[in-house]
Chain A
Amino acid sequence: MTVDDNNIIWLDLFSFLSYSKKAKLINLFRGKNIREEIVKSQEVKEILSDHDLNQMCLLTSDVYFSRQVEKFKSDGIEMITINDPRYPYLLKQIYDPPFCLYCKGNVDLLNTYCVGVVGSRKITEYGTIVTKEYVKAMCENNITIVSGLAAGVDSVAHKTALESGGNTIAVLAGGLYHIYPSFNSNLAKTITENNLILSENSPDSRPLAYFFPIRNRIIAGLSKAVLLTEAGKKSGALHTKNYAIDNNREVFAVPGRINSPMSEGTNAIIKELQGAITLSPADMLESLGFKKIDKKEQNVQVDLTDQPILDFIKSEKKTFQQIADHLNMPANELNIKLMELEMEGLIEKLPNNSYISANL
């Protein structure tokens, strides 16, 4: 690693440093070892307060620094600085690219074709279904799904990508040692196996609230396009949209019901940017320049007796009771039918004992 790389990684250890201060310090000490020079330098005093400077001067020893770096490395964390050839080209183009990406997993994904899939942490059935469908379609086209590992849309996007054998990148707000929300730590672990999690913050930094909105610029920055499947009025996903617009990335939003608070954000985007509307995965992929793939004919032999069930739940979810009443079928037989259809992937079970046809 070069001196500059070391400088960046050392500066990242101090989470109180803002992006602009870091930028100034990196420029000031370009080609010099910051840990040796900072104590002597007079110019730093204009950039840093005495308090911050004192704290930093306490930790300038080589032993401390190399121990930290060794620890990150032994935990499988790769540090890709902005000078590294592996640093994603698209991300470098944004106004304030992160100086270093702390990565765990398959770093080759950084320079693949990425699309950000973001949305609310609270998700409805509609949001789940739509997210799954878009992610599946994109994975079929070898698009890497970038998201933020939060609950709701993010989790669905990552999980669907993993399930359909696609690639996914999770961009964390805090450091890699602090997976947030903690119930997604298993998901994070699975992602590191063949896919990638990354953060611009040093692995030890805690996920502070103000990291989340600025983390969204990385999601937008990595991606060619950003898709919002379901977002409320104040969703953080709207930050991602703004970053995407600022950096000339495509924005797509899935329309929702006008009276659903969970779709207020996406509907507002569509009003603002009319071209953002996407009505199907194929439609979105086409505008991204992907050739239209004919949907493979489903080769599942549908039993004649199953057809009425599929027709009944085609457009709207129906509860078990409603299906049973409609078909006049006893519970045990219907149980068997629904299970068969679910295993064949033709229908999906939703909470509250209701079902919907899987191909919308």
Chain B
Amino acid sequence: MLTVLLVVIILNFLMLHLAPGDIADTIAATMGGADEKDMIQLRTEYGLDQPFFIQLFQYVIKVAMLDLGNSHFYNMPVFDLIMERLPATLLLVFSAQIVSLSLGILLGVYAAQNPNGLSSLFVNMLSLFGYAAPVFWTGILLLIAFSLYIPIFPVAGMRDVTIESDNFFVHAFDVARHLFLPMITLASIFLAYYSRLCRASMLEVLGADFVRTAKAKGLSQRDILMKHALKNSLSPVITFAGLSFSAVVSGAILVETVYSWPGLGTLAFNSIIARDTPVLLGILIFSTLMVTVGNLLTDMVLRSIDPRIQGSQ
């Protein structure tokens, strides 16, 4: 993992370095104007006048000492900035992943029972639509439907700061209300993958010998599906879910922007535009961690449903 981190840092440092403009230009943009001397001073202060390798070396040394440095743009420690935003992103990413996975499996199983029927077609259409539609478009559409015409969900943010209550459940419910639309939007992309994959793998398993045996034993359809077929067809779905975890994290960027969700996505996006190198690298380090943890979790789930993996250990 350390090698991965080092490669991530070097590549991104290089990319940001190659992009034209620097933090002094973006600060000028937020100021509505600039002064020549101020810009030179800023560049000296942030060490941007140093050669590339010295900048990179200094940064790597700092990270090795567990110091992510200061944001040039916000003048705040990068670690604090990330910690402020991380819980929101974790909540969004994990809940979306859980929803898309469980709903995807459910739809997949359903569709596999009658692969050429109307309901199967419907599931296919629905999932393909979710996959094909751009996230920001789905997001806005859901907003228009469920915030404007049927105003049951709030448009922006993560909580209603005007609520004055000490009750934990009032606040939890408030966050859940705010979470619902962004979560559905983010989940809609992956729902397609998971349901299609589950359907295909279910179909394969349903034609297998042991299913025929189960049928011959006179087991109920439900038992065959849930106990025998599903367990055997889940591994590819879970494996894929683990692999696509990084895609969920990157998908969160767009969703967060549409819903003003105060997570890492918007911060990452802004720091690219603002050329705020320390923040971007900090976020990348954290998302590398997040993806690793996500993969670890899927591995654990896989083990619990497929004893063969455990055995090979």
A-B complex is real: no
A positions within 8 Å CB-CB of B = none
